[in-house]
Amino acid sequence: MKVLVKGNAGPRFLNSVGKFRVSIGEKCFHCGLCVELCPARVFERKEGFNRVFVTSPARCLGPRCQQGSFFCQKKCPVEAIEIETDPQWKTLGDFRWTPDLILTTWQQAETGEIPQDGLEYRVGNSGGGFDNFDFLIKNSSSPSDQEIDKIDTSISLNRRREGKKISVPVPWYGAGMSFGSISLPVMLARAMAAEAWSTFTSTGEGGYPEELIPHGPHIITQIATGLFGVSEETIKRAPIIEFKYAQGAKPGLGGHLLGDKNTPQVAIMREAVCGTSLFSPFPFHSVYSVEDHKKHIDWVKIMNPESLISVKVSTPSDVDMVAVGSYYAGANIIHLDGGYGGTGAAPEIAKKNIAMPIEYAITKVHRFLLEEGVRDEIVLIASGGIRTAYDIAKSIALGADGVVIGTAELVALGCVRCGNCESGRGCPRGIATTDSELEKQISPEWGAHRISNLYSAWQKQLKILLCQLGLKNIEELRGRTDLLRRINE
């Protein structure tokens, strides 16, 4: 599809982070052979200098170069070049978002292409769930462009007979991230990318900034337990309304915005008094049953009869019952948010221990909805730790229709997952902050381009994968657990 976002998507930092450390020893007599040899342009002979500099060590391909005729270390006449794994590499990322995944997500955001330099861009290193699945691919040859073009990656977001038909060309949309948890430029970037791709992004529970109104047809209004920033207007404006019962990163716990984060801007948006602590309780204090839940949905439907209803829940052991309850209450989308989901701030104990990983929840809910005979009337969306195109495909193979993307979009904007979104002035990289100075690091256009590029790279990967699996569209992949295998057991 034609993507509307244009412009620079290059890195916004002077130096890149790479896997290898390259250094030139004292023996070097600056012959410049390495400058000529290196296809990655690691070395440079700067204007006006009679020396060779290692200006871009992050680009070094490492030992994979060895076979090539251009391997600098072997060709150097005085063996002055040293290449080793950069100890700094180990400080980047974590088990779920490995340094490889962070770097390849940055690459995809820059180029819009599938990473080619040998870094692992498909799975992380958590040792279970998605990271322990692989596809059983019969035909691993790369399909032709013509074949790829024929593949359809769109999914429908309303499978009921009644109501508006909405479909998205890619099996994902953006997660709820509130104003306050992320900056306005980041919200705008996400909205512009959603618009370019005819998909959606969600307001989160922090109000609906005016600046987003031009992108309205692609913005989901979230109604969460604190009802911050929810008004008749914002409900009427939205094509999809998302009820957030719980969040995967803090299932069963409320949110708490500290007083000093409740700046005048945030307070206006949330229709609250600035400087006060704001609580988003758990649960909805008016919902103690499926009937109460239906009442909520009916209430929104009266204000906005055209809207689709999504119900976002986390993953307790009875998540299957919750899903069926939502179906009977009239929801179009049941959205499961697993424990790996992102957050602006959540107790570590909750992220790690409360509620089950998303892989189990998808399987459980999909099966139960099938047994109940209602699977084809509701859309099952998974979120919480969907990092790559392969995670998307695996979620769908386990039984989801599509996914919701959060953290990966922020990584595309340069997030390093340091986890300090909530401390002090907020995100030092200008993403999860409302600090007027820090947020200037990101322009909405640049951000939209990066996110859009990531989408583009993902769609290509999905299309190729579907070709290799012998499928014509993404909907055929749903529930095809027979196409999965476990890597270790």
Partner 1 sequence: MYKRYHIETAAAILPSTKIGKFQIIREDKCLNCGRCQELCIYDVHKRDAVDPRRMAEPVSYLCKNCFSCIQNCPQQALKMVLSEESKNLGNSYWMPEKIHTIWNEAEEGKIPVYGAGYRGPFKGSGFDLIWTDMSEIVRPTRDGIHGREYIATAVDLGTKPSWIAHFERLSLPRLFQIKIPLLLDTDGLRLESKNLVMAIVKAASELRTLAFLDIQSYTDELEPYLESIALRIPLESIAAINRAPWKEVNLIEIILSQKFRIKELEQALAELRKHNPQALLSLGLASPFPLEEIFTQFQEKRVDVLNLHANGQGRTLDGNDFIADSIKRLHQDFIKKAARDEVTIISKGGIAAAEHVPKLIICGADAAVVDIALLVAMGCRVCSECRPESCPAEIQKLDPELGRQRIVNMVCAWRDQLLEVLSAMGIRDVRRLRGEMGRAMFYHEIERESFESIFNNGGLRK
Say if residues 323 and 365 touch (Cβ distance below 8 Å): yes
Binding residue for partner 1 (CB under 8 A) from 317, 370, 440, 472? Answer: 317
* Cβ distance to partner 1 smaller for residue 71 or 172: 172
127 forms part of the interface with partner 1 (CB under 8 A): yes
- Span interacting with partner 1, options 37-45, 240-248, 268-276, 446-454, rule CB under 8 A: 240-248
Site stretch for partner 1 (CB under 8 A), options 164-172, 208-216, 356-364, 373-381 = 356-364
Which region among 44-52, 190-198, 460-468, 481-489 touches partner 1 (by CB under 8 A)? Answer: 481-489
* Of residues 9 and 319, the one with the C-beta less far from partner 1: 319
State which residue, 66 or 91, has the beta carbon closest to partner 1.
91
In the complex, minimum distance from the CB of residue 21 to partner 1, in angstroms, rounded to a whole number: 9
Strand partners, 135: 484
Work out how close the CB of 16 gets to partner 1 at its nearest, in angstroms, rounded to a whole number.
7
**Beta carbon of residue 99, minimum distance to partner 1 (angstroms, whole number):** 11
**Token digits of residue 72:** 């600098």
CB of residue 214 vs partner 1: minimum separation in angstroms? 29
Residue 316 binds partner 1 (CB under 8 A): yes
CB of 461 to partner 1, least distance (A): 22
- Is 313 a binding residue for partner 1 by CB under 8 A? The answer is yes
Q: Which is nearer to partner 1, 438 or 454 (CB)?
A: 438
CA 411-174-313 angle, 5° bins? 110
Within 183-222, the residues that bind partner 1 by CB under 8 A are none
Structure tokens at 9: 């998507």
Yes or no: say if 271 and 228 are a contact pair by the CB < 8 Å rule. Answer: yes
* Smallest distance from partner 1 to CB 20, Å: 13
- 117 by DSSP, 3-state: which? coil
Residue corresponding to tokens 């409900």: 235
Q: Minimum CB separation from partner 1 for residue 74, in Å?
A: 25
Its sign, for the CA torsion 268, 270, 271, 277, is negative
- Maximum C-alpha span of the chain: 80
318-337 binders of partner 1 (CB under 8 A): 318-319, 322
Is residue 9 within 8 Å of 446, Cβ to Cβ? yes
State whether residue 44 is helix, strand or coil: strand
In the region spanning residues 275 to 294, those forming contacts with partner 1, defined by CB under 8 A, are 277, 279, 281-283, 285, 287-290, 293
| 307 secondary structure, DSSP code | -
Find the shortest distance in angstroms from Cβ 489 to partner 1: 4
The four Cα atoms 60, 65, 69, 70 give a dihedral, to 10 degrees, of 10
Residue of 267, 333, 432, 465 interacting with partner 1 (CB under 8 A): 432
355 forms part of the interface with partner 1 (CB under 8 A): yes
Rg of the chain (C-alpha set): 24
- Minimum distance from CB of 296 to partner 1 (Å)? 12
Cis peptide before 283 (omega within 30 of 0): yes
Q: Which stretch binds partner 1 (CB under 8 A): 114-122, 128-136, 164-172, 261-269?
A: 128-136
Name the one range near partner 1 by CB under 8 A: 120-128, 138-146, 327-335, 460-468: 120-128
What DSSP letter does each residue of 399-428 carry, written as one string? T-SEEEE-HHHHHHTT------TTSTTS-T
How many whole angstroms separate alpha carbon 64 and alpha carbon 61?
6
Nearer to partner 1 by Cβ, of 267 and 365: the residue is 365
CA distances from 297 to 207, 231, 301 (A): 19, 15, 6
Q: How many CA atoms lie within 13 A of 203 on its CB side?
A: 34
- Considering only residues 19, 159, 190, 351, which one is a binding residue for partner 1 as defined by CB under 8 A? 351
Told to check if 73 binds partner 1 by CB under 8 A, we report no
Considering only 172, 173, 340, 390, the residue that binds partner 1 (CB under 8 A) is: 340
Q: Considering only residues 409 through 428, tell me which ones interact with partner 1, judged by CB under 8 A.
A: 415-425, 427-428
Which DSSP symbol is given to 152? B
Query: Tokens 């095809």 label which residue?
Result: 480
- Residues 339/384, Cβ–Cβ less than 8 Å: yes
Nearer to partner 1, 157 or 355 (CB): 355
Contact positions with partner 1 (CB under 8 A) in 8-37: 13-17
Task: Report in angstroms the alpha-carbon separations of 415 from 56, 119, 192, 339, 389.
Answer: 21, 18, 19, 20, 18
The answer to the question of residue 485 lying near partner 1 (CB under 8 A) is yes
Please report how close the Cβ of residue 392 comes to partner 1 at its closest, in angstroms.
16
Q: Which of 201, 314, 388, 434 forms a contact with partner 1 (CB under 8 A)?
A: 314
Torsion angle defined by CA atoms of residues 53, 55, 56 and 62, in that order, rounded to the nearest 10 degrees: 20
CA distance 174 to 189: 11
Q: Which is nearer to partner 1, 402 or 414 (CB)?
A: 414
Q: Is 436 near partner 1 (CB under 8 A)?
A: no
- Count of positions on this chain that bind partner 1 (CB under 8 A): 99
Per CB under 8 A, which of residues 84..113 are in contact with partner 1? 87-88, 90-92, 94-97
Overall size of the chain counted in residues: 489
Q: Is residue 408 a contact partner of residue 387, using CB atoms and an 8 Å limit?
A: yes
